Structure 1
Amino acid sequence: MRSLAIPAIIFCLALAGCSSRANEGAVSIAVIGAEDAPFETGNRLSYAGQLVREGTSEGLVAINAQGDVVPAIAERWIFTDDGLSFFFRIRNADWPSGEDLDAASVRQAMLDTIGRLDGTSLGLDLEKIDEIRVMADRVLEIRLKSPMPEFLQLLAQPELGLLREGRGTGPMRRLEEEDVIRLQAVPPQERGLPERRGWEDKVLDVIVLGMEAERAVEAFRNGEVEVVLNGRLSTFPLSDIGPLSGGSLRLDAALGLFGLAFRNTDGVLASAARREALSMAIDRSSLLQPFNVTGWEPSSSVVPDGFFTAESGLQPAWINQSLPQRRTVAAARISAWEREEGKPATLDISLPPGPGSDLLYGQLLRDFAAIGVQLVRVDPGKKADLALVDKLARYAGARWYLNQFNCDVSKIICSPDADVLVDQSLYAATPAEADMLLIEAANAMLARQVFIPLGAPLRWGLLRGGVDGFVENRWGRHPLFPMAIAPIS
């Protein structure tokens, strides 16, 4: 049984085999997704696009291999006791154009970036910022509307990599190759850091390839790539590469959303009570049994437990009922609709391709049938009543979860009342006051039944022996730069 809590053992046929590379002087990484995903630009990035963006365009801070916040454009920072002001010392460096990397240019780059993110859920997260001010040539202040303990984590998002004339400051640069993304580590002295002797011998180039899941696993088995990233539950059965593959399976017990979104409010889905009935029908404790994985945490709430300092009471009213009891109630609601409409309850569901989705569909088919709902799977992109949401959290805060269902970004089913409460929380005088407003917002969303939570997202990857810089973490993020550091031979 595979565990989300314990890293897998790295198996190697031979030591030499562990260190061999498909591309000399480079580590090749397959990112599961579209082939052109690593080439993405803009503000809405796939996982591959995020990897390349954070590799080539630093923000004020960054994420290291462990998922911790580390210096980037800002070499250090302090914050006030009230948590309202953060002061960042900008490192002594230049933009790629040769222009001085000072506080004024960083401020303008930040404002431009934040402006481009308007209308996205990340843009909503950034509304916590009240003001960005230049305090000295290399000192920048960011003042918040109210304290946010997770603020540095928010600043470390790939989309907040800063650009000047369309170019970022590293820590890597893209080499001019038309058909592939090949990144090269920028020498420290070019980034305003102390020179490191023998730098060229300490780093590898990183080649980033977008691949469908089956092709990525095949490439790993064949030694074409050393790393596979962005595996999800939909493709999880493909991760069983066997003990003689020369690699290891790595699992992230990540934070985020994993559940079913409503794509319309027609028929069965027109009533919050019937939407709730669907959630009541699901046996979350056994949902992932076919996947043979331990450590997965099911959830029945949009905001999981542990995100409020106060007791929230956010669990649905049926949480303490037995599965047969709640299915009886749910079936009665569905049956009443069928009698009124004179037709059976049927719902179409869109799931991503992959053998994991096949297993998940079988589980949901069973659960919905228990309350009299027929579930029909349709191809991705086709019109559907339900669709799987599988999204990593950007920071550990209730507001991130609630912002995913803001009416500006989730227009099918949302709660305007919840949006008002979340907005009010931005100005709360104390963390306790903010907590109470966010709890009210979560309860408003619960009343509207905007989503069917299932649990935490699962992420998996494959790693060849001899590749350093990959560490399991709760963000499911694995930046490229740490994997560019050559292992000690």
Structure 2
Amino acid sequence: MSRPASLLRNALIAALLAATLGACGRSDDRAVEVAVIGDPAAPFVTGPRLPLAAQLVRAASAEGLVGFDEQGRVIPAIADRWIVTDDGLSYIFRLRDGKWPGGGAITGETGRAALVRAIGALRGTALGSDLAVIREVRAMAGRVIEIRLHQQAPDLLQLLAQPELGLTMRGNGAGPMRLERDKRTAILTPIPPEDLGLPQPEEWEARRRKLNLVGLSAKDAIRRFNAGEADVVLGGRFADFPRLDAAGVPRGAIRLDPVTGLFGLAVARAEGFLGAPENREALAMAIDRDALAAALNVGGWTATTRVVAPGSADDNGTVAERWPGQTLAERRAVAAARVAAWQAENGKPAALRIALPAGPGGDLLLRQLAADFGAIGLTVRRVSEAGDAELRLVDTVARYARVGWFLNQLSCGNARGPCSASADRLAETAVAEPDPVKRADLYAQAEAQLTIANTFIPFGVPVRWSLVSGTVTGFAPNRWNIHPLMPLAMRPK
């Protein structure tokens, strides 16, 4: 080969390499695309009750005293360290040396004011009930605040890390990401640690990327993921799980969270056939949970007949699964006799109106319930959530794995239907009981009262899934269904 030809060949190779590297660089520099299943307006919802997309945005742009990492572990945020007193009744936090957005130092006084506002905004919610253990928030010297408790609360840090407890000053949060809005897209950019009063690693600028978050229907989110237009899909539930096989989503892209929580039917109206607790129990007796597990086809799904998930902290084991030793046929015979007695007394058939979410999973659940309730002489009709439903689906992941969470969700202040005042009184007494053995016994009595009331008909644990492409780092399945955005936006070291 002549020298000019060799030079030309080398120049072409160099140009091709440069183009390839440039293309890789451009690909590596692009934003991480995240789709969250839900309403397109959800990322920008405000208030005490936030949909998932808004929780993600809030946690990314307004961190609390502490936060979560991708594995659902509590990590420092505005508080860079803390101690717990020996009696467990006081948590003392030292805040980082930084400023709030728009100026103003982060101090004990400003941190306390922001936390008190956040807690106050949650009054009347289930999370607000969880925070009732807090007796007082005090500002101490410099950048220190103290949270004093009525009783020990081993899950306090878990509660303080919730997105709704993100701290703001004049409506703005202190990161760790900066939020911009482009129509219905939330654009989030990691804030340099030095701007937050933190040391900045040398490679930090090269690692950070923008992240775009949108709310989409499950069908559109899955389509975008399959087309390579979304890197991550969050917020998957049982209602849309069957879409994954139908759309040909690779099994390796599906991530299931091993969550606990409430998944079952809540009684919305204690009227007609549902007016008597023993009739409501008939519904719980009729459900074939093994058949439901097979129909859901979710690996590792666990059924239960209990209001509280078995194995929860503070569960002393005295409340067991219901109807031990009875077969499904035997339970259904008892339930069918109650249905027949009610229909004979009232001179009309018993029919139920059930609100279930749209989607193939909701259709599947309707067919299963129609078969189960039909086996004892009941008919069912599907209505919208906003309609006159007598039964509605509850599908909620526990924020912490203790009996108190379940009781707060189903309390008279949060149930949106019939409830048990006696269970509430026992739960309130338990919160104030310092002795852990006595407290667990009171919680067991409260669960027993809720069980007798039959205002909630459990199926098992909730179903939560995500889709994650092979190029994404910073994601890990965890028991809380917590998937913060900051780790997703950072390239690995």
Same fold (TM over 0.5): yes
* Structure 2 residue 98 is the aligned partner of structure 1 residue 93: yes
2:74 to 62, 69, 78: 69
Does the CA-based 8 Å contact 2:314-2:440 persist in structure 1? yes
* Structure 2 residue 366 is the aligned partner of structure 1 residue 361: yes
Does the CA-based 8 Å contact 1:22-1:224 persist in structure 2? no
Opposite residue 44 of structure 1, the aligned amino acid is R
2:228: which partner in 1?
Answer: 223
Larger radius of gyration: 2
Equivalent runs, 1:414-429 vs 2, <5 Å: 414-429=419-434
1:479: which partner in 2?
Answer: 484
2:439: which partner in 1?
Answer: 434
Distance in 1, matches of 2:247 and 2:413, equals: 45
Equivalent runs, 1:246-325 vs 2, <5 Å: 248-309=253-314, 311-315=316-320, 317-325=322-330
Distance in 2, matches of 1:357 and 1:244, equals: 20
Opposite residue 163 of structure 2, the aligned amino acid is P
Does the CA-based 8 Å contact 1:21-1:27 persist in structure 2? no
2:163: which partner in 1?
Answer: 158
1:133 to 133, 138, 144: 138
Q: Tell me by how many angstroms 1:440 deviates.
A: 1.4
* Structure 2 residue 196 is the aligned partner of structure 1 residue 191: yes
* Structure 2 residue 402 is the aligned partner of structure 1 residue 397: yes
Distance in 2, matches of 1:374 and 1:323, equals: 19
Cα pair distance change 1:387/1:246, threshold 3 Å: closer
Equivalent runs, 1:201-212 vs 2, <5 Å: 201-212=206-217
Opposite residue 327 of structure 1, the aligned amino acid is R
Equivalent runs, 1:145-184 vs 2, <5 Å: 145-184=150-189
Does the CA-based 8 Å contact 1:288-1:360 persist in structure 2? no
The alignment-based identity, stated in percent, is: 46
Cα pair distance change 1:227/1:111, threshold 3 Å: same
Does the CA-based 8 Å contact 1:251-1:460 persist in structure 2? yes
Does the CA-based 8 Å contact 1:249-1:460 persist in structure 2? yes
2:111: which partner in 1?
Answer: 106
State the TM-score, normalized to the length of structure 1.
0.93
Distance in 2, matches of 1:385 and 1:88, equals: 46
Q: Which SS does the other structure have where 1:348 is aligned?
A: strand
Does the CA-based 8 Å contact 2:226-2:249 persist in structure 1? no
Q: Tell me by how many angstroms 1:144 deviates.
A: 1.0
Q: Tell me by how many angstroms 1:252 deviates.
A: 0.8
Q: Tell me by how many angstroms 1:292 deviates.
A: 2.4
Does the CA-based 8 Å contact 1:221-1:241 persist in structure 2? no
Opposite residue 91 of structure 1, the aligned amino acid is R
Opposite residue 290 of structure 2, the aligned amino acid is S
Does the CA-based 8 Å contact 1:22-1:28 persist in structure 2? no
Does the CA-based 8 Å contact 1:182-1:208 persist in structure 2? yes
Q: 1:202-260 CA distances to partner (integer Å, 9 max, x unpaired)?
A: 01111110000001101111111111010100000112377786961111121111000
1:446 to 433, 446, 451: 451
Cα pair distance change 1:146/1:227, threshold 3 Å: same
1:13: which partner in 2?
Answer: none
1:50: which partner in 2?
Answer: 55
Cα pair distance change 1:415/1:245, threshold 3 Å: closer
* Structure 2 residue 345 is the aligned partner of structure 1 residue 335: no
2:331: which partner in 1?
Answer: 326
Q: Tell me by how many angstroms 1:379 deviates.
A: 3.2
Distance in 1, matches of 2:159 and 2:51, equals: 17
2:414: which partner in 1?
Answer: 409
Q: Which SS does the other structure have where 2:211 is aligned?
A: strand
* Structure 2 residue 379 is the aligned partner of structure 1 residue 371: no
Greater share of residues in helix: 2
State the TM-score, normalized to the length of structure 2.
0.92
Gaps of 5+ in 2: 1-20
Does the CA-based 8 Å contact 2:184-2:214 persist in structure 1? no
Cα pair distance change 1:473/1:20, threshold 3 Å: farther
Distance in 1, matches of 2:366 and 2:405, equals: 28
Cα pair distance change 1:244/1:127, threshold 3 Å: closer
Does the CA-based 8 Å contact 1:57-1:169 persist in structure 2? yes
Greater Cα offset, 314-323 or 176-185? 314-323
Provide the aligned C-alpha RMSD in A. Answer: 2.0
1:234 to 236, 239, 243: 239
Q: Tell me by how many angstroms 1:343 deviates.
A: 0.9
Distance in 2, matches of 1:127 and 1:458, equals: 29
Q: 1:29-81 CA distances to partner (integer Å, 9 max, x unpaired)?
A: 00000010001111110011100000000111111100111101110111122
Distance in 1, matches of 2:439 and 2:357, equals: 37
